[in-house]
Each structure stands twice: as C-alpha cells, then as structure tokens.
C-alpha cells in the first residue's frame, strides 16, 4: 500500500474552494482507492490520506516522475547550451534517483521502460546522450545543484552516489535500442573502471537494490562489455 496526501493528488487545500469531481475523476478514484482516512489537528483542519487498491500504482507514478525528470533535464540542457557560462542543474534527477534503484521492483522497471518506449526517437537519443554524459561525474558532489537538502531518509553520500550511478546505467540500458558497449558507460580501461564501479555498488547499495541489479545485469567476457535492454545482459 502507498499513501498520498491531498497535495500529492493535486487536491486543493482550501475547504472553501473545493470543486465537484467529474465522473471520470470519481471513476478513477473508485478504481484506485479503497480507503480514505481523516484526521483533525488542534486547529480543526482536516487532513486526508488514501490507500491504493493496486499495489503497482505507486510504481507507475514513480516511473512517470523519473522519466519526466529525465526528459525535462534534456530540455534544460538545450536551453543551457544557448546561455554561455550556464551550468546544468541535475539536482532534481539526482534527488529522485539516489535512494533506490529502478531495478528494485520489476513493475518500476517495466513502467520506466514503457514510458521510455513512448518517447520519440530524437528524445530517446538525447536522453541517452545526457545519461552517458552524467555518468563520469556521478560520484562527485555538486553543491550548486538544487534540492541539495532533500533527504527523505538518511543515507551516506557514497551510497547515494552509488544508487545514482546505478540508475544512470539502468537508464542507459533502457534507452539503447541495441547492445550497449560498457566503454560508453565507464570509459577506458573498461575492465578496471567497470570493476571499480561494480565494487562501489557492492559496497554501498541497499541489499535489495544490489540483489536486483545483479539479477538484471549479466557480465561475460574480459574486455568489451555490451548490454541488452531486455534483460540488461552484458556480454563480451
């Protein structure tokens, strides 16, 4: 079950400004929500939360936010390049991808793949290019990025960097139509750098993220690594 506040659902907070729900909104509400709980504070204001009927609806919302965050950042990159001296702010993408990996739950992975498959070829190409550009600096602090104080739960900086880099690799896999050479992900020498990346994940990722990532990515060969987006298989 996942809980959302009225703000998360886009509801108005003012009791005096409530608008009647449409038939479509009522239908969606009855389909997805099975319980509404209310609580009143000392001020008399009422707060509500909702439980999802479909266990994967939370993953659907998360996947949409992740892919939208990536595509929005691509658009920011286009405008940033038109302003000399401007620095790309990937703070939002880092904030939403540095706590758990998209590989942790199969529905989250599949929803991300579904949203990515709906992008036009040019969008996918630019998203892929941006993800690969972000990877080399994934382990460094960026104090000028927005949402620097965002911390829904305490997590070591190294662990957040590991999760962020793992998600960038996952996105690179999902955005690739063909096999992906790992040299694009980590640079040269491939074996040394891939081993360093893998050791970071092994030491810093949450156990469930680590387990799912190992199930998703398969590594064979000793020099060149390629990735298949269906199973995330890496071959040499």
Closest CA to 214 of 229, 233, 196: 233
As a whole number of angstroms, the distance between CA 55 and CA 233 comes to 28
Contacts of 206 (CB under 8 A, 6+ apart): 100, 104, 159, 163
C-alpha span between 111 and 180 (Å, rounded) = 21
Residue 23's pLDDT is what? 62
Return the structure tokens found at 208.
């469930």
Positions of E strands within the chain: 3-4, 33-40, 46-52, 180-181, 218-219, 226-228, 233-235
Q: What is the per-residue pLDDT across 79-92, written as a single tens digit (0 to 9) for each?
A: 887 777 788 999 99
- pLDDT per residue as tens digits for the range 61-120: 899 999 999 999 999 988 887 777 788 999 999 999 999 999 999 999 999 999 999 999
* Dihedral (CA of 213, 214, 218, 220) sign: positive
CB 219 within 8 A of CB 225: yes
Residue pLDDT, tens place only, 122-167? 999 999 999 999 999 998 988 889 998 898 889 999 999 999 999 9
The interaxial angle of helices 106-117 and 57-80, nearest 10 deg, is 40
Summarised one tens digit per residue, pLDDT across range 185-212 is 888 888 899 889 999 999 999 999 999 9
In sequence order, the β-bridge partners of residue 47 are 39
**CB-CB neighbours of 96 under 10 Å:** 19
Bigger pLDDT: 30 vs 86: 86
Q: What is the pLDDT of residue 67?
A: 97
End-to-end CA distance of the chain: 41
**Per-residue model confidence (pLDDT) at position 225:** 47
């Amino acid at each position: 079950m996942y809980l959302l506040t009225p703000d998360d659902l886009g509801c108005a907070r003012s009791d005096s400004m409530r608008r009647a729900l449409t038939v479509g909104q009522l239908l969606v509400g009855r389909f997805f929500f099975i319980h509404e709980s209310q609580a009143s504070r000392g001020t008399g204001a009422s707060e509500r939360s909702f439980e999802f009927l479909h266990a994967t609806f939370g993953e659907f919302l998360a996947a949409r936010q992740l892919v939208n965050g990536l595509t929005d950042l691509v658009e920011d990159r286009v405008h940033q390049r038109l302003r000399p001296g401007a620095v790309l702010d990937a703070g939002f993408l880092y904030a939403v991808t540095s706590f758990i990996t998209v590989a942790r739950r199969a529905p989250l992975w599949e929803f991300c793949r579904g949203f990515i498959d709906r992008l036009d070829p040019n969008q996918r190409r630019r998203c892929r290019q941006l993800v690969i550009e972000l990877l080399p600096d994934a382990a460094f602090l960026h104090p000028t990025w927005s949402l620097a104080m965002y911390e829904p739960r305490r997590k070591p900086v190294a662990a957040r960097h590991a999760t962020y880099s793992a998600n960038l690799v996952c996105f690179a896999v999902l955005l690739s139509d063909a096999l992906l050479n790992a040299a694009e992900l980590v640079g040269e020498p491939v074996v040394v750098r891939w081993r360093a990346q893998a050791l970071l994940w092994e030491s810093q990722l949450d156990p469930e993220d680590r387990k799912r990532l190992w199930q998703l990515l398969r590594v064979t060969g000793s020099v060149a690594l390629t990735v298949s987006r269906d199973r995330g298989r890496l071959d040499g």
